[in-house]
Amino acid sequence: MLGYLIRRLAYSIFVLWGAVTIVFVVLRVVPGDPALVILGPDASPADVARLRHGMGLDQPLLVQYGHYLLDVARLHFGDSVRLGGDAMGQILLRLPATAELALAAVVFAVTVGIGLGVAAASRPNSVLDRVISVFTLVIQSTPTFWAGLVLLLIFARQLRVLPSEGAHSWQNVILPAITLGLGFLAMVTRLTRSGLLEISHESYLNTVRAKGLSERVVVFPHAIRNALIPVVTVIGLYLGSVLGGTVVIETVFAWPGAGRLIADSIGYRDYNVVQAGVILIAAVFVVVNLLVDLLYGLIDPRVSVGRQER
């Protein structure tokens, strides 16, 4: 177990290093002079040269990369051009709001998704099952920001039952969380359904049935525990798109989180903040996946992570 833990931890650090390097490559090596990008096309050559020197862009690329890695290790991403103050500090300030939104989205997706999945699996090929499968296909195929706009239009503008923008009360989180969770909801529904159908004829479930217990007891808690194992795995993987989705969804709902800050900063060419935000989100994603992998053994005793070679 300890060996696995160390290997897995080393792997996570490696992946994080790779992500940090990708950000460096994108921001420095991709065509276009960052100094020119920041100052805009009308800047005088002298200004550009001064900023290049200030940013260390006149040094060899490897030296720049070395400085960059040191800065990242110290969580120093420079100051925000627009807001002033430390770029990472600005992101961290808004991280709780994003975490709240992402958590609400995951809770919504998992609870409703399991419910729909159980309902669909209880009578395979019934009308209900088909309606649910069409529903999941449609929500997987709609652009999330568009779904958000439609929900806004219906619940905030027409029915006026929920607030449309900002984060003033607990009701504000409802619409953005539902929007952000829709894709994940579809995934959880599909996985729960196929998981339940796959194990529905396992002998331990027949034992439960033979004891005369109702089908409800067969599902909760007996079948669901094993059917949910794949769901737990995808929670970790899917969190990536949930976190990436916050950039778009927070913009739609004017949610004061890190995602919206990243989107706004792009518009203002505030690349230090963008860089800090992207790296932080990648780090959160890597850590969550590490935790999911480690927790896997606890949920499914058949999996012995210590001996498992990934």
Give the footprint of another protein on residues 189-228 (CB under 8 A): 190, 194
- Distance, in Å, from the CA atom of 185 to the CA atom of 197, rounded to the nearest integer, reads 18
Nearer to another protein, 172 or 289 (CB): 289
The helix (run of H) or strand (run of E) holding residue 153 is: none
229 touching another protein, by CB under 8 A: no
Region near another protein per CB under 8 A, out of 88-96, 147-155, 165-173, 220-228:
147-155
At residue 176, what are phi and psi to the nearest 5 degrees?
A: -60, -35
Count of H-run helices and E-run strands, the chain:
14, 0
Nearer to another protein, 87 or 281 (CB): 281
Amino acid of residue 253 = F
Region near another protein per CB under 8 A, out of 13-21, 58-66, 74-82, 107-115:
13-21
Question: 270: number of CA atoms within 13 Å, CB side?
Answer: 24
- Distance, in Å, from the CA atom of 149 to the CA atom of 151, rounded to the nearest integer, reads 5
* Least spacing, CB of residue 246 vs another protein, in Å: 9
* Least spacing, CB of residue 212 vs another protein, in Å: 30
Nearest to 52 by CA among 135, 199, 72, 44: 44
Are 187 and 238 a contacting pair, CB within 8 Å? Answer: yes
Binding residues vs another protein (CB under 8 A): 14-16, 18-19, 22-23, 26-27, 30-32, 37, 124-125, 129-130, 133-134, 137-138, 140-146, 149-150, 152-153, 157, 190, 194, 240-241, 243-245, 247-248, 251-252, 262-263, 266-267, 271, 274, 278, 281-282, 285-286, 289
